[in-house]
Amino acid sequence: MSQFELQPAESELQQFAEQCWQKAGEREHQLETEAYEAGASIRAGEYSLANLEAIVRWKSERVVHYLIGNSEAKIRSVLAVAASPESSTRKAVEALMELRGVDLAIASAILAAIDPERYNVLDFRTLEALGHARHDVEFYAEYVAFCRRLAERGLVKPQPDLPGDTPLHALERALWEWSRSRAEHRVLV
């Protein structure tokens, strides 16, 4: 079992979540907003390449072109599994990773956009903020469970005017911003 240790102070998490959005550029805001809108469409049963593409573009524009190598039928069936509340984290991730161009990090972004109450994005910055760097499906399931427990403690609040309006996504922003702030500090020193 993986061990996670929160690196930033709990009292700083909300501030980091706010800073993350404030420091992001307009293009990042647009991509994230479009990704969460596409996730809502997928939740509503619209299992299309266009919705998948909007989410993947948010996480990594450079892999979007791989998506066209997947048939419409494959995309529909995989997104149906990923969007199903009955699917386990493992089942949802493994289904998504059957798609050309989708690795664990991309699968986590797709799941986070589809169901931001249940999933968050696996990212090297958020992992650094939790004192970890290993990536596999079991690790992702443990990571999501750990982050859910932190979010349930009320350390951060939903950001109602931002996409993915959940405590889990606000926590993700906070962890990401904590890591970015550390990286910026290291460059300045």
Nearest to 42 by CA among 2, 95, 6, 3: 95
Mean pLDDT, residues 178-187 taken together? 76
Nearest to 117 by CA among 155, 91, 144: 144
pTM, whole model, 2 decimals?
0.81
More confident residue, 103 or 180: 103
**What pLDDT does 124 receive?**
87
How much of the chain, in percent, has pLDDT values that exceed 90? Answer: 84
Mean per-residue pLDDT of the chain: 93
Nearest to 129 by CA among 179, 54, 95, 86: 179
**Please, is 109 exposed, middle or buried when counting C-beta atoms within 10 Å of its C-beta (0-12, 13-18, 19+)?**
buried
- The answer to whether residue 156 is domain-embedded is yes
Best mean pLDDT range from 40-44, 100-104, 164-168, 184-188: 40-44
Task: Provide the token pair at 97.
Answer: 């990773």
- The answer to whether residue 150 is domain-embedded is yes
- The answer to whether residue 4 is domain-embedded is no
The tally of domains found in the chain comes to: 1
**Domain limits at 146?**
10-188
pLDDT at residue 181 tops 90: no
Task: Provide the token pair at 125.
Answer: 């910055």
Whether 176 contacts 24, CB under 8 Å: no
- The answer to whether residue 45 is domain-embedded is yes
**What pLDDT does 188 receive?**
62
- The answer to whether residue 137 is domain-embedded is yes
- The answer to whether residue 124 is domain-embedded is yes
pLDDT at residue 185 tops 70: no
- The answer to whether residue 1 is domain-embedded is no
- The answer to whether residue 2 is domain-embedded is no
Mean pLDDT, residues 76-91 taken together? 97
